[in-house]
Structure 1
Amino acid sequence: MLLAAILMICSAISDLRWREISNSLNGLIAILAIPFWFATGWPLWPDLAILVGVAATIFAAFLVMYMFNAMGGGDVKNVFAVFLWVPVPLTMPSLMVMALSGAAVSAAMLVWQIVKRPEAKPQVPYGVAIAAAGLWALHQQYLNQFQAIASS
């Protein structure tokens, strides 16, 4: 889990600095989810099948945005890899965290565009929002000591 968190942070930094998330980084995040599933004891059926289906559905939605040039290809692959780590009950809250984080990043980019007045249209590093959602989900599932209070 710590390695996944580090890799998510690396993907956010990579997208922030170079507006690119490498395929190898996305692949590593996705591949490391498999031993994590077995280490945590998630059953293959139906839990993992539903989890992969949810991640694939989110991937498909982002792929449509990519087709309309509203999202980068690395971000599309990154959202799939990150959501392989997000438990199904936390999917919708994680998407909300991602949307709010994405809005904050977009607002910061808008301010940057107004202040700097660059010639080219700025690209929003949405990998930051994707990583924020993944890190939030990991925290909620595994590091939240108040989880029992929230479920009562």
Structure 2
Amino acid sequence: MLYLHYGLLIALAIGLCVAAFTDIKSRRIANWLNGAIALGAPLYWWASGMSLWPDVAWQLGFALIVTAILLGIGYIGYTLGITILGGGDIKLLAALALWITPLNYMTLLIIMAMVGGLLAIYFVIRRVVFKPKTPGQLPYGVAIAAGALWVITIDNYDTLFLGAMSG
């Protein structure tokens, strides 16, 4: 069961890297990728030994709340005519809420904000100094992926790295 647990985390990490790469290239995160990430969560719950009640129920409730908040943010941006988060970003964050506990999700958001801020500074400098013909939207999937990769690595650090060194 442990191998399945870590195999699913590796699959999630690969999916996050694909999301970041495609967001850089096309400013889009594919629906099939977000769907695959969301559909992988129940397998992860099972492999992690989460009980249906209360563990899975809390995770589903948390994911529903996160999704509602993200949809609200997207709707506000849409009505104001600005892009706060793209649709793919919203779906990716909602799918990740199925995988990541509420406390770790807060860490994801903090890391995401820091990486997003660095990305914004980079894009401003790049536009001012080099004036390239690049899309005006930030590939925020990069920041989301960085935050999620940080969280899944730190959350599993002891068994991933320390266990490997002691064995």
Query: Do the structures match in fold with TM over 0.5?
Result: yes
Aligned twin of 2:141: 127
What is the CA deviation profile of residues 58-111 of structure 1, one whole-angstrom value per residue up to 9, with x for unaligned ones?
A: 222222332213111111101111222112331222211111111111221212
What residue number does 1:23 align with? 31
Moved more, 87-96 or 74-83: 87-96
Which 5+ residue runs of structure 1 have no aligned equivalent? 148-152
Cα gap change, 1:111 to 1:37, in 2 (>3 Å): same
Q: Identify the residue that residue 55 of structure 2 maps to in structure 1.
A: 47
TM-score, normalising length: structure 2:
0.79
Superposed, which structure 2 residues align to 1:1-20 within 5 Å? Answer: 1-20=9-28
CA RMSD between the two structures:
2.1
The within-5 A match list for 1:1-152 is: 1-67=9-75, 68=77, 69-117=83-131, 122-144=136-158
> TM-score of the superposition, structure 1-length normalised?
0.86
Shift of 1:53: 2.2
Query: Which runs of 5 or more residues in structure 2 are unaligned?
Result: 1-8, 78-82, 163-167
Highest Rg: 1 or 2? 2
Counting matched residue pairs gives: 147
- Matches of 1:120 and 1:8 in 2, distance apart? 23
Deviation at 1:16, TM superposition (A): 1.0
Give the whole-Å Cα distance in 2 for the aligned partners of 1:87 and 1:136.
14
- Structure 1: distance between partners of 2:129 and 2:68: 35
